[in-house]
Amino acid sequence: MPEKVVIIGSGPAGWTAAIYAARANLQPIVFEGAITEENRIKGTLPLGQLALTTEVENFPGFPSASLHNFLETALPEDRRPFWVLDKKSQPGHGITGPELMDLMRQQALNFGTRIITDDITHVDFSKKPFRITSLEGNTIEALSVIISTGARANYLGLPSEDNFKNRGVSACAVCDGALPRFRNKPIVVVGGGDSALEEASYLSKFASVVYLVHRRDKLRASKIMQDRALGNPKIKPCWNSAVEEVLGNDKDGVTAVKLKNLVTGKFEELTASGMFLGIGHTPNTDFLKGQLELDDKGYIVWQKPARTNTSV
């Protein structure tokens, strides 16, 4: 018999859908993605992009300030007796991305969600029940399919960049930033948005200096992220600059990054043990081509009111 609900993807959206579907007794299946080296390099391992971050400050319910002071100011007085707290102010800890995603996954499991650790490579939405085929070659039928595959990090597309992937070039500071090759050495981060600045701030814990390479003379990131990064003495902006080439050798991996100043046209080589990318994302929708309407960037086109078009 066809499955009632199949969910493809294991980020916050996927687990939220699974929790609701499981509580409604729909016995959902979640394809959380395969654990492969290719997925690790692309940043598409199970649990989504949030599992590749450090502290999560903007998810409700996990204060990172003093927990005691937070409860005193945020909770009504009649609620405070339910909390057993020392009179002294105790430090709270917030939550990290991997912790949050593990909690979501476990919550879905607790309500009876079935989880398959595999990628989906093909779907047939031309008729019901829908047919879904996995990387391992298994095919199942489903009455409803929820797509929550998210997006993966973009790379520059330079040949020299490809040569040093996993040898100094990365799009995941949390995955790779603490490796010995980067400790107490200069590192380059490319980008000007929140992702790039978060990467730079995290890497500053390990690197001797972090060069932040941005094509413009202003950052696109939120003000709080800009203030943190530009106020960090270990982060050095390289304005109006683009990466021309990643330099290195087979033995050491990345040893330098060649920049071009887009205003003066001059070139500069920065000694660096690695280069981290923070330049946006591409949706993980390749398997949907020909089945759902996608825009020119690969994102699913929604039809009003918030309904995705199929051929059924």
Annotated catalytic residues are 172, 175-176
**Residue 277 contacts residue 171 (beta carbons within 8 Å):** yes
What dihedral do alpha carbons 31, 33, 35, 36 form, nearest 10°?
130
**Residue 80 contacts residue 200 (beta carbons within 8 Å):** no
Distances (CA, A) of 89 to 7, 67, 86: 43, 7, 7
Distances (CA, A) of 262 to 7, 213, 240, 259, 266: 45, 12, 5, 9, 8
Q: How far is Cα 278 from Cα 196, in angstroms, rounded to an integer?
A: 4
**Residue 130 contacts residue 123 (beta carbons within 8 Å):** yes
Classify burial at 121, counting beta carbons within 10 Å of its beta carbon; exposed 0-12, middle 13-18, buried 19 or more.
Answer: middle
Q: Is 57 helix (H, G, I), strand (E, B) or coil?
A: coil
Task: List, in order, residues 6 or more apart from 152 with CB less than 8 Å away.
Answer: 42, 43, 44, 49, 281, 282, 284
**Residue 205 contacts residue 229 (beta carbons within 8 Å):** no
Task: List, in order, residues 6 or more apart from 6 with CB less than 8 Å away.
Answer: 28, 29, 31, 130, 132, 140, 142, 144, 145, 146
